[in-house]
Structure 1
Amino acid sequence: MFRFANPEYLWLLCALPLFAAIYALAARRRRKRLARFGDPATLRELTPDVSTGRILLKFILFLAAFALVALAAARPQFGSKLREEKAQGVEMMLVVDVSNSMLAEDFEPNRLERTKYAINRLFDGLRQDRVGLVVFAGEPKVQLPITSDYRMAKAFARRIDPSLVSVQGTAVGKALEQALLSFSGDTEEAPSRVIILITDGENHEDDALATAKRAAELGIRIYTIGIGTPEGAPIRIGGEFILDEGGDMVVSKLNEEMLSQIADLTGGAYVRSSKQSIGLEEIVQSINEMEQSELTTIRFEEFNEQFQWLVAAALVLLVLELLLLDRRNPLLAHLNIFREKA
């Protein structure tokens, strides 16, 4: 496995085009200043030892050395060994509503953005559990399979958006069914598997309670989080509020009854979000008290550093750049490396 231990230093490579632009401007300015003294062809005959090719080569050597130093600073590494790591934890599937109703602004800036922020905070606090992510509207979609890579999980969570699901609506039952199918096959111990459903509870598509009963039969707990307010809020998309067929403004309200029933059927718990807390922290605290299973994770370790080879190559190029003179060496003139053919 290959990786950069400090990838932020790769941004230094963005300076290469800037250096090239500065060199081009300097060369242009040098040609203009020389043109004031006379014809360029005549000046070349009067100064045969001056070599523009050498100046360009010195600059190319400098750019190459700078690029190698930037790559070395990013610390390229190769993983040389796989290690199987065992830990106690649970598998946690997050099921997130991305229907248009989650754009209601009774939470700032809206329900969905507050949910994404809470999920990001959740991933920061996890250590040994595995997480997966299912997004849904009219249809569910597995956004992230079960993983213990929290950095990747955070990256996928930031991309949560209504556009991920082409069919609008709110099919809670289908989403829960997809979550049941998305657990890994590493452990068959149901007590170590939980689903966290985050939605405003407006289910218009299917019978979510039937799926909850199936989860209960499998011994899988479903924790539900209701985000929104009972009073509701209008839904704004692209700066305009959604209207119904009668021209009235659509108001999305929190449906707590269904979410409470789902949680009760599976032995989970229901939490209503507040302006201060979405409710994920409270649920994770409850999950940590559950029976946990032994989870196996394969990790790369003993990464071999490769930066020293890049540093060595950069030093060689810099030494060549320093030894290469701007003017032709009379002792090597017969080699005719840079001089144009007559």
Structure 2
Amino acid sequence: MLRFAHTYFLWALLLVPLFVVLFMLMRRWKKKALAAFGDRAVIGRIMPEVSFSRPTLKFIFFIVAYALLIIGLADPQIGTRTEEKKSKGADIMILLDVSNSMLAQDFPPNRLENAKRALSQLIDNLHDDRIGIIVFAGEAYVQLPMTTDYSAAKLFLNTINTNIVPVQGTAIGAAIDMGMKSYDFKDNTSKAMILMTDGENHEDDAVVAAESAHDKAVVIHVVGFGSPQGAPVPIYDNGKQIGFHTDSAGHTVISKLSEDMCKEIATAGHGIYIRATSANSGLGIVMDQIGKMQQKTYDSKQFKDFEDRFQFFLAIAMLLLVAEFFISNRKSLRLSRLKLFEVKKP
């Protein structure tokens, strides 16, 4: 398995085609300038020491060395083997509401960003539990399958926004059903869902879905985001707020936390309900409950012994740069005197 320790250096490779274009334009300009003085063969006799091919060779050495240098700075690493690891933990599936109502600003900057921040802190505190993420609005999608790769989990978390699900609405039941399909019930690990929503369910019967999940020993905890007083739902255009959502009568829509729905889902899923605040998301309490569940051992594969390979790229890059430095733009007089293929007239 190949990975880069510092991937941000790889952006510098975008300069390679720019250098090539600039070099070609420079060569074209020089050819036009020389053509203005006369025939190239005649100019070659006037300037016998000038090489027209060596600058190209020097550029090739430079551009290859530059690319290898960037790759070396990115520190390519190779995982030499996989290792079976025995871990004891629970399977935690996060159900994250990404409907437009989660943009309400009663939790500055908005409900969704507060939920993502809380999830990021939760991931930082995980050790042996597996985690997955499902996003939902009018439909539900698996954003991250169950994994112990917490770095990948945070990477996927950062990409979540309200535009990630094309169909708007709030289908909590569909998200629960999707979570059930994502579990592997053969490994017998303890399983729990953490539903993070404002509770405005408009699409299906989430309570029935929660009861079905509990029938298969899956516990559903609910964290409510929002305030009972509610807040208007902003509208954005190219990242700028241009107003608020209104109903058919032209009145501003106020999105409120539906605590009754959240409590019903938590009760049906035999979990707990926590109302998040701007200071505390309540996920710590939820994780304490998950920690009390019976922990079972499961197998996971991990790449071990990642070895740095940057030194090979840097060494070759240095050799090419040294070679490029010593290649002169002038022809070698000794070599030019050797006319190996010249046919002498009798």
TM-score, normalised by the number of residues in structure 1:
0.86
More off after superposition, 272-281 vs 81-90: 272-281
Q: Are 2:206 and 1:208 aligned? A: yes
Alignment of structure 1 residues 1-342 onto 2, 5 Å: 1-16=1-16, 44-185=44-185, 187-189=187-189, 192-238=190-236, 239-333=242-336
> Is the Cα contact below 8 Å between 2:114 and 2:278 reproduced in 1?
no
User: 1:336–1:94: structure 2 CA closer, same or farther, 3 Å change rule?
Assistant: farther
> Is the Cα contact below 8 Å between 1:198 and 1:227 reproduced in 2?
yes
User: 1:110–1:161: structure 2 CA closer, same or farther, 3 Å change rule?
Assistant: same
How many angstroms does 1:200 deviate by? 0.6
How many angstroms does 1:313 deviate by? 2.6
User: 1:201–1:333: structure 2 CA closer, same or farther, 3 Å change rule?
Assistant: same
User: 1:287–1:49: structure 2 CA closer, same or farther, 3 Å change rule?
Assistant: same
Letter in structure 2 aligned against 1:74: A
Task: Encode CA deviations 1:192-251: one digit per residue, 9 max, x unaligned.
Answer: 211000111112222222222222222221110110000011111222211112221111
How many angstroms does 1:298 deviate by? 0.3
Which residue does the alignment assign to 1:340? none
Distance in 2 separating the partners of 1:15 and 1:48: 35
Structure 2 segments unaligned to the other structure (5+ residues): 237-241, 341-346
How many angstroms does 1:93 deviate by? 0.4
Letter in structure 2 aligned against 1:9: F
Letter in structure 1 aligned against 2:297: E
> Is the Cα contact below 8 Å between 1:146 and 1:184 reproduced in 2?
no
Distance in 1 separating the partners of 2:140 and 2:111: 19
Distance in 2 separating the partners of 1:43 and 1:320: 28
Distance in 2 separating the partners of 1:5 and 1:186: 35
Distance in 1 separating the partners of 2:66 and 2:138: 52
More off after superposition, 122-131 vs 326-335: 326-335
Task: Encode CA deviations 1:125-168: one digit per residue, 9 max, x unaligned.
Answer: 22211111111122222221111112221222222223332332
1:145 aligns to what SS in structure 2? strand
User: 1:336–1:200: structure 2 CA closer, same or farther, 3 Å change rule?
Assistant: farther
> Is the Cα contact below 8 Å between 1:106 and 1:228 reproduced in 2?
yes
Distance in 2 separating the partners of 1:215 and 1:31: 75
Distance in 2 separating the partners of 1:112 and 1:292: 30
Structure 1 segments unaligned to the other structure (5+ residues): 338-342
TM-score, normalised by the number of residues in structure 2:
0.85
Letter in structure 1 aligned against 2:75: R
Distance in 2 separating the partners of 1:72 and 1:326: 28
2:167 aligns to what SS in structure 1? coil
More off after superposition, 260-269 vs 84-93: 260-269
Distance in 1 separating the partners of 2:221 and 2:59: 62
> Is the Cα contact below 8 Å between 1:219 and 1:266 reproduced in 2?
no
CA RMSD of aligned residues (A): 3.0
> Is the Cα contact below 8 Å between 1:2 and 1:76 reproduced in 2?
yes
